Structure 1
Amino acid sequence: MSELLKSKGVKALLSGYLISNIGSWFRMLAVMGLLYDITGTTASLGFSIIIRYLPKFLVNIFFIHHISAINKQTLLLSGSLLSCLSVLTLAVTSPLHSVAIIYPLLVLISIGDSLIDPARMSSVRQLSNKQNMGKNTASFTIARELTMLFSASTGGILISLIGTTYTLMLDGISYFMAILLFAFLPRGFLSGKINQSEANPLLLAFRMFTKKTKVSLLLRVCFVRQLGYGIAMVGFSALVFRDLQLDASWLGWAYSAGGAAAILAGMSFRRKLKRSPLNPGSALNTLTLAYIVSVVFMATMLSAPSIMVFFIFVALYDASSIVTDISLETALMLHSDEDGAAFPVFFALEGVGILLGAMLYSTFLHEQSQFTVSIIVTLIMAISAIMLGLSRYSEKVKLSCSGTGSP
């Protein structure tokens, strides 16, 4: 990654992504607080997540041929411009407290992001070869965690100090800054167009799901895990707003507590990996253990009786969750023979799982107690933990029967 950052084009490209990501966190916190103030129902929190993800998938499914025919830089610029104008309009109209205005604008922002995301994924793959793809993806993920840590805590403070309108304007400004960075990329830096699997990795996901391979198992685990997380993501906010009766600033601090713990745990785990790199078997063992621990912390977090207890278990969950993420992505790389093609699928399935989880919460669970929600999330996420455990057990039985030994 350090070699890539010597390029001015790479610096501008990544800076644009990260700056707009900071603004997106500001918007997420502001919109959740605004919708809850207007509606007084936690179902609106789920709708905000649904609107964030659903238009992306619909655009990429039905307009895949159009998207794959557009230059990458054009996609970045047009998507950022649409999102920028929509966010600024949302900021100006937010004092009207009208969901009839807010929801359509959120849809437009999601459509803008649906143009940015495939260009972003394709750009990372274009700038990486097979040997450094994993390292560059991991470095980008850590940078994204750092921006989350900064923007979640800062966003909560900004909402308290300057209000929702001006916080949303900062998101619009972040998109504008990204547009400037994308517009002045060196000529020919982002060459070519994206292919259809990058424009809509869900098509590739269906093909991978039908195979009986380790990659398919990992993708199924990812999907079920994110389904549970989608429910928990809304329940997480509902606990702060409804049960603890706190505002968006506390939600921001909760994300910050988790982000700080995740970064510390990730750095510690990364040092361990330098001394003892994971092999295919140990990656799955570590993934299984970390995942089981994260499920326990998730269940406890969702039924926390106070904000301080909530912060503690958010931190513990995110610390175990980042170890799960690193192990899952490492296992995916070690078992994949498609030169990184599984990664766009991996990130797409994360989004689909969160979308369906938010739909389940908004439709069936928004009136349930936090304890009930925590039980349902635990049961769903336990399914993928059992899938992993059974897979490892069956492998060991086969190896012991063949006399090969432990992987």
Structure 2
Amino acid sequence: MNAFLVLRKPNLRRLLTANLFSGIGDWFNSVAVLSLLMELTGTAMAVGITLALRTLPHLLFGPLGGMLADRCDKKKVMVVCDFARAAIALCFLLVSSAADTWLVYCGTFLLVVFSSLYNPSRLSILPQIVKRDELAAANALDESVYGVVMAVGSMIGGIFIALWGADVAFVFNSLSFVLSGVLISRLTVGLPEREERAETVAATSYRDVLTFVWKQPIVRPILLLTTLWPIGGGIVNVLISVYAFQVFHAGDMGIGLLYGAIGLGFIAGGMAASRFTNRPYKIASASLAIEGFALLLTSFSPSIYVTALFYTLSTIAGGMGNASLRTLLMEHVPGHTQGRVFALEATVSNVLIGFSMLAGGWLLSFAPPRLTGFAAGACITLLSIVFGLSLWRASRIAQTQTTRLLAKIE
């Protein structure tokens, strides 16, 4: 279905607009917090602690977010989390000296806690506000919004703070959560379109969810791919700054260019995915391998501009793949377990990406950036090919079984 037709739905527009404003607010907050820490402490240690605190809550609270999404009213969970984050975002206004650094740590930790509780509901509510045949287009639009958030946040976040200061950025972040909460509260949420079949017995624990996932030949490779991708993806994140500063000597402008290119790629990838909504298996299998290969090519890039082009290509492919994989999960995972499945995926991937970034920093202490980039790109490409082929085979088997069943009925 055409993405612009799906966008006519008021519920979807409200959800995407809420994601847009809260996401941009998050970017402004991130830039402001890191700038404030460098100004007050002058050490990279404070920055490192803050970045680590953005990973830990996913491990501790991500599974709880999945339980809340499956057992509680998703809309209420999201609204409570938004208003809680709006209040927490204002605590950064109290920071005035190095002695107040603990407030930055606590505020950062709590913001990510409520984001961990919020995200499983955000993802699993989508099948309840659009029809099943609209899921692919809706996920494509959501991927494009993610790209807009990254592009706008990275390109104008620093300029915004330079002109009006960090305090204004903190207030904007708080107001963005208030707006998000108001929009979410206006959602009209129905029951899942399809009734769950008798054999998909309601899972009562994460162990039941894992058992179900492992027995599903289509769901299993999707989750393995999305959770293992960060092994190379975390290193890629570290390399963005290294390429800009050490390889091409482009400084802050280079970082802005690369993040802007990544954001534009996600926008284009989401829009491209909306044109291939009837072929999610093929898109998912091929596009993520292309993403890895494009990242691998950055290690041979002769200039910052060619590197930006490769990053754009990688995220166009990645955006198409992510939208397709998320649609397949929503179609093949029972509605009463989707929150926990998305929570498990986010928990494992966030923990792995944290370790991967640490490993990337360690590798770069003795290995050239281009060699490290080649290894990260090769890792992503290999994982994408292996699990993409597994997904392709599973989809062909499922289609064959469906065809045989229809033939028997006839």
TM-score bin, normalised by smaller chain = 0.7 to 0.9
CA distance in 1, matches of 2:47, 2:202: 30
Q: Structure 1 counterpart of 2:232, which letter?
A: G
Partner residue in 1 for 2:163 = 161
CA RMSD, 1 decimal: 4.3
Q: Contact (CA 8 Å) 2:265, 2:319: kept in 1 or not?
A: no
Q: Would the alpha carbon gap of residues 26 and 329 (structure 1) be closer, same or farther in structure 2, given more than 3 Å must change?
A: same
Deviation larger for 205-214 or 218-227: 205-214
Q: Contact (CA 8 Å) 1:287, 1:323: kept in 2 or not?
A: yes
Q: Contact (CA 8 Å) 1:47, 1:359: kept in 2 or not?
A: no
Q: Would the alpha carbon gap of residues 179 and 240 (structure 1) be closer, same or farther in structure 2, given more than 3 Å must change?
A: same
Pick the aligned partner of 1:206 from 210, 215, 227. Answer: 210
Partner residue in 1 for 2:32 = 30
For the pair 1:317 / 2:319, whether they are aligned, the reply is no
Q: Contact (CA 8 Å) 1:50, 1:355: kept in 2 or not?
A: no
Q: Structure 2 counterpart of 1:257, which letter?
A: A
How far did residue 180 of structure 1 move? 3.6
For the pair 1:373 / 2:375, whether they are aligned, the reply is no
Q: Structure 1 counterpart of 2:140, which letter?
A: A
Q: How many residues align?
A: 383
Percent identity (aligned): 20
TM-score, L = length of structure 2: 0.74
Pick the aligned partner of 2:227 from 223, 227, 245. Answer: 223
Q: Contact (CA 8 Å) 1:227, 1:357: kept in 2 or not?
A: yes
Q: Would the alpha carbon gap of residues 118 and 270 (structure 1) be closer, same or farther in structure 2, given more than 3 Å must change?
A: closer
Partner residue in 1 for 2:358 = 362
CA distance in 2, matches of 1:10, 1:390: 33
How far did residue 228 of structure 1 move? 1.8
How far did residue 83 of structure 1 move? 1.3
Deviation larger for 205-214 or 353-362: 205-214
Q: Structure 1 counterpart of 2:291, which letter?
A: S
Q: Contact (CA 8 Å) 2:16, 2:145: kept in 1 or not?
A: no
TM-score, L = length of structure 1: 0.74
Q: Would the alpha carbon gap of residues 29 and 228 (structure 1) be closer, same or farther in structure 2, given more than 3 Å must change?
A: farther
Q: Structure 2 counterpart of 1:27, which letter?
A: N
Q: Would the alpha carbon gap of residues 383 and 9 (structure 1) be closer, same or farther in structure 2, given more than 3 Å must change?
A: closer
Q: Structure 1 counterpart of 2:380, which letter?
A: M
How far did residue 107 of structure 1 move? 0.7
CA distance in 1, matches of 2:273, 2:133: 21
State the Cα deviation string for residues 115-158 of structure 1 (Å, max 9, x = none).
32233234322223333333323333323333333333221321
Q: Structure 1 counterpart of 2:307, which letter?
A: F
CA distance in 1, matches of 2:181, 2:280: 41
Deviation larger for 69-78 or 134-143: 69-78
How far did residue 308 of structure 1 move? 3.2
State the Cα deviation string for residues 278-326 of structure 1 (Å, max 9, x = none).
274xx1xx54443333223223436867543432332232223223334
Partner residue in 1 for 2:175 = 173
Q: Contact (CA 8 Å) 2:203, 2:337: kept in 1 or not?
A: no
For the pair 1:278 / 2:279, whether they are aligned, the reply is yes
Deviation larger for 137-146 or 109-118: 137-146
For the pair 1:233 / 2:237, whether they are aligned, the reply is yes
Q: Contact (CA 8 Å) 1:52, 1:107: kept in 2 or not?
A: yes
Q: Would the alpha carbon gap of residues 199 and 153 (structure 1) be closer, same or farther in structure 2, given more than 3 Å must change?
A: farther
Q: Structure 2 counterpart of 1:278, which letter?
A: R
CA distance in 2, matches of 1:201, 1:47: 33
Note the 1:284-295 alignment, pairs <5 A: 286-295=283-292
Q: Would the alpha carbon gap of residues 291 and 394 (structure 1) be closer, same or farther in structure 2, given more than 3 Å must change?
A: same
State the Cα deviation string for residues 73-125 of structure 1 (Å, max 9, x = none).
43223211221222221244166486433222111101222332233234322
Pick the aligned partner of 1:105 from 104, 107, 110. Answer: 107
Query: Alignment partner of 1:210: what SS?
Result: helix
How far did residue 20 of structure 1 move? 0.9
State the Cα deviation string for residues 211-258 of structure 1 (Å, max 9, x = none).
261321122122221332123223324544676676666534422222
Q: Would the alpha carbon gap of residues 174 and 241 (structure 1) be closer, same or farther in structure 2, given more than 3 Å must change?
A: farther
Q: Would the alpha carbon gap of residues 393 and 310 (structure 1) be closer, same or farther in structure 2, given more than 3 Å must change?
A: closer
How far did residue 390 of structure 1 move? 5.8
For the pair 1:349 / 2:350, whether they are aligned, the reply is no
Q: Would the alpha carbon gap of residues 212 and 73 (structure 1) be closer, same or farther in structure 2, given more than 3 Å must change?
A: closer
Q: Would the alpha carbon gap of residues 67 and 226 (structure 1) be closer, same or farther in structure 2, given more than 3 Å must change?
A: same
Q: Contact (CA 8 Å) 1:82, 1:108: kept in 2 or not?
A: no
For the pair 1:259 / 2:226, whether they are aligned, the reply is no
Query: Alignment partner of 2:279: what SS?
Result: coil
How far did residue 265 of structure 1 move? 4.7
Partner residue in 2 for 1:115 = 117
Partner residue in 2 for 1:54 = 56
CA distance in 1, matches of 2:329, 2:68: 30
Q: Would the alpha carbon gap of residues 7 and 51 (structure 1) be closer, same or farther in structure 2, given more than 3 Å must change?
A: same
Q: Contact (CA 8 Å) 1:60, 1:199: kept in 2 or not?
A: no
Q: Would the alpha carbon gap of residues 290 and 11 (structure 1) be closer, same or farther in structure 2, given more than 3 Å must change?
A: closer
Q: Would the alpha carbon gap of residues 357 and 264 (structure 1) be closer, same or farther in structure 2, given more than 3 Å must change?
A: closer
Q: Contact (CA 8 Å) 1:52, 1:106: kept in 2 or not?
A: yes
Q: Would the alpha carbon gap of residues 242 and 212 (structure 1) be closer, same or farther in structure 2, given more than 3 Å must change?
A: same
Query: Alignment partner of 1:131: what SS?
Result: helix
State the Cα deviation string for residues 45-83 of structure 1 (Å, max 9, x = none).
665454224313412435866776654443223211221
CA distance in 2, matches of 1:218, 1:64: 18
Pick the aligned partner of 1:126 from 125, 128, 135. Answer: 128
Q: Structure 2 counterpart of 1:377, which letter?
A: A
